């Protein structure tokens, strides 16, 4: 039942970005912006900065239009104009972890893998171009972002947290911004539904 929040400092590749994180947290608390609205706004912000969306939320990527409609249903204009760092692979995921209450994270099992562990695991994995990769509890998509593949349609992720799923989709759309695709990231409990999910 802990109501503490913790900034995951170890997740930053550039410690100077903690300043931007603190600005976001101050704004969110002072304006009483809920977490879903905050994350939707940051996702839209990053998609606009990446050139995938225009400021009126129109885009040329047909595959993601439904996803864009979902996240534009709830956003805060102030967060759309903030200058966010472009040297963090998963800045929105770090913000999300900083905003979640410790008790909520415990209940959901929402603790993201640090980058150095991901790098270590990938040092022993070689994915062939025609092979698929699955992360059954993908969170904001850090493992999938580090997969060395030119075809993002080979990447699959599942998570029970709808907000984390939206972050993972945003991260992959930005990483593969020249590909018109909707990431294969699903809000489902892979451990309960298992491989049957992949056959749908």
pLDDT score of 60? 86
pLDDT score of 104? 64
Strand ranges inside the chain, DSSP E: 133-135, 155-159, 184-187
pLDDT score of 110? 64
Contact of 158 with 127, CB cutoff 8 Å: no
pLDDT in tens, the chain (200 residues): 666 777 777 777 888 999 999 999 999 999 999 999 999 999 999 999 999 999 999 998 999 999 999 999 999 999 999 999 999 989 999 999 888 877 666 666 666 777 888 888 888 777 787 889 999 999 999 999 999 888 999 999 999 999 999 999 999 999 999 999 999 999 998 888 765 655 55
Contact of 14 with 87, CB cutoff 8 Å: yes
pLDDT score of 102? 73
pLDDT score of 26? 94
* Residue 87 per-residue DSSP state: S
- Closest of 71, 75, 73, 79 to residue 30, by C-alpha: 79
Quote the Cα angle for 184-179-58, to 5°: 95
Sheet containing strand 184-187, edge to edge, reads 133-135, 155-159, 184-187
């Amino acid at each position: 039942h802990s109501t503490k929040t913790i900034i995951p400092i170890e997740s930053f590749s550039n410690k100077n970005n903690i300043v931007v994180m603190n600005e976001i947290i101050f704004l969110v608390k002072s304006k009483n912006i809920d977490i879903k609205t905050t994350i939707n706004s940051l996702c839209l912000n990053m998609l606009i900065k990446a050139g995938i969306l225009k400021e009126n939320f129109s885009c040329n990527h047909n595959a993601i239009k439904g996803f864009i409609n979902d996240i534009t249903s709830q956003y805060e204009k102030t967060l759309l104009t903030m200058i966010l760092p472009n040297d963090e692979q998963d800045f929105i995921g770090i913000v999300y972890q900083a905003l979640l209450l410790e008790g909520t994270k415990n209940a959901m099992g929402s603790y993201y893998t640090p980058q150095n562990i991901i790098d270590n695991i990938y040092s022993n994995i070689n994915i062939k171009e025609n092979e698929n990769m699955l992360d059954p509890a993908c969170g904001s998509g850090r493992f999938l972002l580090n997969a060395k593949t030119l075809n993002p349609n080979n990447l699959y992720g599942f998570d029970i947290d709808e907000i984390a799923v939206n972050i993972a989709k945003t991260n992959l759309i930005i990483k593969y911004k020249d590909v018109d695709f909707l990431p294969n990231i699903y809000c489902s409990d892979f451990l309960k539904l298992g491989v049957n999910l992949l056959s749908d």
